[in-house]
Every structure is written in structure tokens, then in C-alpha cells.
Structure 1
Amino acid sequence: MNNQTNSNYLIPLMFVGMLFLLLGFALGINGLLIPFLQKGLSLSNADSYLVLTATFSAFVVLGYPSGMLVKALGYKKGIIISFVVFAIGLYLFIPSAKYESLPLFLIASFVSGAANTLLQAAVNPYITILGPINSAAKRMSIMVISNRAGWAIAPIFLALFIDLSQANVRLSDMYLPFYIIIGVFVLLGIGTGFAPLPEMKAEGEGEEREGAESAKIESIDPSKKHIWQFPHLLLGMVTLFFYVGVDTLALVSPVDFANTLGLDNPERYTMHTVVATSVGCVLGIILIPRYISQLVILQIGSLTGLLFSFLIVLLPPQVAIHFVSLVSFAISLVWGAVWPLAIARLGNLTKTGASVLVMAIVGGAILPLCFGWLKDVTLDIQRAYWLFVPALLFIVFYAFKGYKIGLEKEPEAFGV
């Protein structure tokens, strides 16, 4: 890529990075407020599972329609609509707290999940094709770092309004923070409308929208008319399903693991995972593609993650707990590396294929439920980590074989 082309993508990339930072900030506040809201509504464990179902079901129910909407309107308008829907969903949490209404809380959770589904369907493929396809994982890593920075700022900001150490926070105390994040999403929508974001399209996509710039993703096979005819895409979805599930567990389970072992300051083990993921992303930014390709990173990371998964269940628990965060480090670049491989050669079906990949985020709900079931059955949280092994095995399979199944030529041949 020449310097002029680099500069063409630098401004949009910086703007999208800012969007990810603000998105992480808003969702970080939301993530901190929701537990207080759930407690204020006196939700039972069963009710909490309903909330989880309402949030993640949106990815399955609306994943494909979101891709069709992005295909019809373009990435930029898809992003704008997602921010508006986010604002609506977050606003609905306020009357749900005021009237202590579980049904309204579930509706708000589903609407927020729908907004996140649409945003993921628009932003992820956009970042993937915003520049050389062989450095897509690098751009994804930049977005992850930006998003995590926003999450880190959120509790500091929220502490200005609410004492997060209090066991009981009045529901009325949460109204102002909710109004603030609603305002952030409205401003994000307005800002995106005026942002210099070119309407990207993969090579082989239709020319119906003027002004769309092309990314070097190989043209679609004329004999294939539907996304279900691309095994590498469907296998990519399953890969991301397992990745999101393992990544979520690596973030949320160490506290429980540490409590089981009676370790001091169990919350610090979650911070270990956050730091490990961030370090992995920084290395991706530095190394890809100048020193190593994103495919090789995927292969090395998945094999290393598999090794660490075995060590979690085989080593003494006081040592094994540290390998949970190391699994997160090993697979930190899986999301960014799988996307360009999975949408390779989709051409005119790129946006629709992206919606299939977004549906994989439901793994963040299903695998933790499986983990909890294994923990209850075995009465040993360390044994529950055996769940990581088949998940990582599938990621290894995709990294070495699955990404090229059904393709006439391997993605490396055109820059992935």
C-alpha cells in the first residue's frame, strides 16, 4: 500500500477507533449499572438467566436481518442506526427501574442486544476491508485496545455519581448516568453521520452504490449464490462461537476460581486477563503484517492456547489459575484473524456473511452456561476448564484446515 492510500484510510481508522473508545465507555457504564439495577429489582437467579437470554438471543434472531440491512443501506448508515437503537434500548432501562418492571427490563435488554448485533454486523466487516486485507487483524487489535480503554475509563467516571462500593444503590441514583450514556450514543450517531467514512465494498460486490471504495477480497465464485455454500464461512462462525465463549470465561471465571482456592483479592485475576488480552493486541499491532502474517499468528495462538488449556486442568490449582489469563493472551488475536479468512471470496455476499459471523457472539452466553453445568456436575471448577480443550481444538482445526475448505485457492494467494 502506498503512502497516499495509507493516508486515505488513516482518518477513517482513527475515527472508528474513537467510536470504539466511546462505545467501550458507554457499554462499560452500562455493564456497571445493570447489576445494580438487577439487584434493585430483586431479580432471582432464574430472572437473571432470562436477562442473559434476552440480551444474547438478539444475536441469533437478528444477526441475519442485520446483515441484510447493512447490505441494503451500507456500513455507515448501519452504524448510525445501531447507535440510535442503542439510545432507545438504554432509555427503556429507566422506566423499567422506575416502575420495577421485569418485562420492560427484558425488552430493554433485547433492544440493546439488537443494537449491538447491528453494530457488530456493520463495524467488523468494515474494519476488515478498510485497508489491506492482510493487516485486518492489526486494525482489529487497534479497535480492541480502544474499546478496552473506554471500559477502563467507565468506572472512574461513574464513581463521580455513584459509590460503587455500596451494597445498596438507589435506583434513582442511576437515572443521570443512564441519561449521560444515552446522550453519548446520540452524539455518536450524529458524529458518524458527518464522519469521513468511505462506503467500502469487497471486490465482487455490486456497483449499485456510487462512491464505494473497493477492498482486495477475491471475487465470489459465480457458481455459488448463497452464503451456506461457503464452508469456510460457516466453520469460521463456529470458530468464533468457541472463541467468544472461551474469551468470556477467561474474563469472568477467574474470580470464582480464586474464591474457591481462598486466594486474596480474587478480582485481580480478572485484571490479569484484561492485561493479557491487551498485551496480545499490542503485539498484533506491532508484528502484523510486517514480521508475521495474521494466519501464522492464528495458528501459533490457537496451538499455544490449547497447550495452556491442558495445563489449567493438569497443574496444581494454585498454579493453574494463572494459565487462564494466558489462554486469553494466546487467543487474543483470533477474532481479528478469523474475520478476513471467513469472509474471503464472498464478494457480493460479504455483508450477509458478516451477519452470520456476528451470530457467533451467542457463544459468550452458551459456553458459560455449559461451564457452570460442568462445575456443578464435577463439584470442581478446575475440571470444568476441560471445556476449553474441545473449543481450542476446533480453533486449531480452522487455523490449519478449516479456513480453506471449499475454496479453489487458499486465502494466502490473495493476501490474507
Structure 2
Amino acid sequence: MAVAPQQNITAGTGTDKSFNYKPALALLASLFFMWGFITVINGTLLPHLRSVFDLSYTQTTLIESVWFIAYGVMGMPSAFLIERTGYKKAIIIGLSVMALGALCMVPAAQLPSYGVTLFALFVIASGITLLQVAANPYVAVIGPPESSESRLTLVQAFNSLGTFLAPYFGGYLILSRTIGGTSLEGTELTQAQRLADAQATELPYILVAVVLVIIAAVIWRSNLPQLGSATSRVAREERKKLSLWSHRNLVFGVPAIFIYLIAEIGVANLFINFAILPEIAAITPAEAADYLALMWGGMMVGRFAGSFILRKFPADKTLAAFASFAMLVMIGAATLQGPAAMWCLILVGLGHSIMFPAIFAMGIRGLGPLTEEGSGLLITAIAGGALVVVQGWLADLYGLQNSFWLTVACEIYVLWYAIWGSKPKQTLEAAEASTTGA
């Protein structure tokens, strides 16, 4: 998948040293915050919906799969829309689509309907996909090229802030206001209680829709710089002579992103269901939501620390260290009993913190004119989060705790990618030639 060209800019963006891009960056940071916030609300919504609709783990994780299927389905249409409308209008459309999806959660709660809930979440995720495809390259080009990595790290930190605060929001406005959310695992609810619990989602999503509309209005009235396309024909001619598939770091990086998302989303969205088990922590879903926030907080802390560590140590070695830590704590989550197993899941947030940015950076290394297409493929790989349904299926067959062995396998692949798969083909060929010569 090719995203809209990001290297072509007009005066007033990255090539204009006098242009003050900080107000635009602040607006874009709010987008990163909101899609991180809304995505993680699902972490508190899933156990709630499981109680309301009496779902199996497979049906519960299908909700999250629908969310990430949107990345695969809407990625290309989003790129085409950006090419036709420009970045600013595409961002406004994305926010409007998200607000529409949030409002669709009101009839989904009133009915209540599992199918309408899936539809509403797909609409929200489609809007987020458009924002992802538009905002990431936009952040990279609105300021000086030499500080693009710093800008991306900064807005990703706001994304982490959203993921950190969302469990508190969802726990307070959804779980703590419901019978299912304040009861221990195994409590049977009456039909009237299920209906009342379902309607508890209305207020949070109405509030989310209002905030999204306000942000869209602010961006509509803002003076965001336009990105030009003066050199796009030259770039297209250069790309015709090259092949993405000759870059092993990208070829193995796409499945690395895909597989990493299975691990991150599986842990995040089964965390509450795992923590409330009698043999683990034996707490209520509302209490577990607070511990889930600690996991996302660990990811936020890990990103800030990782941004410093990556300035001192090579990305492949840093990724290998974080992947090794994640693998060890996930083995603990799959084998230990009591609160220790829950704390292993909390700590995996630290291990996961740098994985996406590190894999992404190593995946596009050395692509040159193919960077846009490579970036598009890596963004599309976010759809790997849809396969969380496989972990739900494993949980139904073999038990929730045993399903975390799938996460262990994901960490092993990321570790392999850091050690060997991320090495550019040219580097390997040079090393092999040196060995042969010796």
C-alpha cells in the first residue's frame, strides 16, 4: 500500500525555516492522544460487553478483531482520499467518521445489539485508520527534516498518555457504574441488569463524540500548512527501477509489526478478564481497570526511556533487550499463579514500549525512494491486531492463561527480527564477503 507522498512539501513547511510549525504540531498531538485514548477504551469495554451479551472469549476478542480489520480494509481508501482532498480535509473527515461511530454506540446500547456494537466500532476504527495514514507522514514533514524523529517521538508520547488515561476513564464511567463491572467473576446477571449495564456506555461515547467534533472544528479553522506534490513525478520514475522485496529488513519487518500487534492487543484486551480470575488476583473488573492503566503507563515510561536509550545504543540491540524482557515476563504470566502472574502482564508494557517505533524505523532503513511504499506496508500490518481472535479461540480451548503462550511466540519472533531479520541485505552481503575473504 502506498500512502500519500510525504517528501513533497511547499513553502511554509519543512523547507521554510521561518515557519512556526509548533501550533500545528500541538493540534496533531491531540489526534495521537485521541486515537490512543479511544483504542484503549476497548480494553475496559470488552469485559463489559462479555458480561452484557454473555460472550465466549472468541466472541469477545472478535470485537477487537473487527477494530483492526479496519486497518486492512480502509488503509488504501484512506491513502486515495488523502491524495484527492489533502491532509487537512482528510483529518477533518477522519475525526467526523470517528464521532459518527461513537454516536452509533448509543443505539447499540439502547437495543442492546452485539452486531450494531461491532458496526459502530468498525466505523470508529475506520476514522482512526484515516488519521493514522494522514497524521504520521504529516508530522514528519511540517518541521525541519533533521528533527522529524524527535517530533514523531513527541506525538507518540501523547498517544501513550491517551492509552494511560483511558482505563481510568472507562473504569470510572463504564465498569464502576455497572453491576457486572463491580461484581466478581461468575456472578449471574438478570436481563434487567444486563440492559442497565449496556446503557452505561452511552455517556462515555457521547462525551468522546463531542470532543472529536470540537477538535475537528478547531482544525477546520486552523491554518495548517499544505503539502505539495511538485516532485512526485520524479519520485515515481525512480521507484519504477527499484523493488521493495530486495530489502530484507522490510520483508521481515512487515510481519514483525503484524505479530507484535497480536501480542500487544492480546495482552491489553484480555488483561481484565485474566486479572479477575479467582486463581490470579480475584478482583472486580473495575479494580482490574486500574491495574491495566499501570500497564499502559509502563509503556509510556518505556517510550520516554527508550528514546534516550536509542540515542546511546544501536536500535537492533535495544530492541533485542526489550524483546527478551517481554518474553521472560510473558512466560511468567503463562506459568505463575496469583497476583504475580498479573504483575507479569503489567510489566510487559515496558517490554512492548519501543517495539513499534523500533521495528518501523529499522523496516524502512535504506529504502530511499521506496520509503513511502514501505511505510504504507508497515502501517497496513497494524491489522495484525485483528488476530487477537486467535488468542480468544485458544483461551476457550485451553484456558485463558495458556493462551498467553501465543504471546510468548510473538515475542520470540520480534527477538529474532532484532538479532537477524532486521539486518539490511547489503549489510549481510558485505559481512558474508568479508568472511569469505578471510
Per the normalisation by structure 2, the TM-score is 0.71
Does the CA contact (< 8 Å) of 1:87 and 1:185 recur in 2?
yes
2:209 is matched with which residue? Answer: 182
Q: Which runs of 5+ in 1 are unaligned?
A: 210-216, 411-416
Say which SS state the counterpart of residue 265 (structure 1) adopts: coil
Alignment of 1:1-400 (within 5 A): 8-25=20-37, 42=53, 44-45=55-56, 48=60, 51-98=63-110, 100=112, 103-127=115-139, 131=145, 132=147, 134-135=149-150, 138-139=153-154, 141-151=156-166, 154-155=169-170, 158=173, 164-167=177-180, 168=193, 169=196, 175-195=202-222, 197-199=224-226, 207=231, 223-224=241-242, 230-258=247-275, 259-265=277-283, 267=288, 269-289=291-311, 291-292=312-313, 294-313=315-334, 319-346=340-367, 350-366=371-387, 368-379=388-399, 381=401, 383-400=402-419
RMSD across aligned positions (CA)? 4.2
Does the CA contact (< 8 Å) of 1:141 and 1:282 recur in 2?
no
Structure 1 pair 156–297 and aligned structure 2 pair: CA distance change class (3 A): same
1:68 aligned partner, one-letter code: F
Q: What's the % identity of the aligned pairs? A: 25
Structure 1 pair 158–260 and aligned structure 2 pair: CA distance change class (3 A): closer
| CA apart distance, 1:408 | 7.6
Per the normalisation by structure 1, the TM-score is 0.75
Distance in structure 2 (CA, Å) of the matches to 1:71 and 1:294: 33
Distance in structure 2 (CA, Å) of the matches to 1:250 and 1:9: 37
Distance in structure 2 (CA, Å) of the matches to 1:380 and 1:44: 14
2:319 aligned partner, one-letter code: L
Distance in structure 2 (CA, Å) of the matches to 1:293 and 1:197: 35
Q: Which runs of 5+ in 2 are unaligned?
A: 1-15, 181-192, 430-438
Distance in structure 1 (CA, Å) of the matches to 2:86 and 2:425: 28
2:422 is matched with which residue? Answer: 403
How many residues were matched structurally? 390
Per-residue CA shift, 1:116-149, capped at 9, x if unaligned? Answer: 2222222234445565355466335423333235
Per-residue CA shift, 1:73-118, capped at 9, x if unaligned? Answer: 4443332221121122223333444455555444323222211222
Distance in structure 1 (CA, Å) of the matches to 2:296 and 2:386: 19
Does the CA contact (< 8 Å) of 1:70 and 1:122 recur in 2?
yes
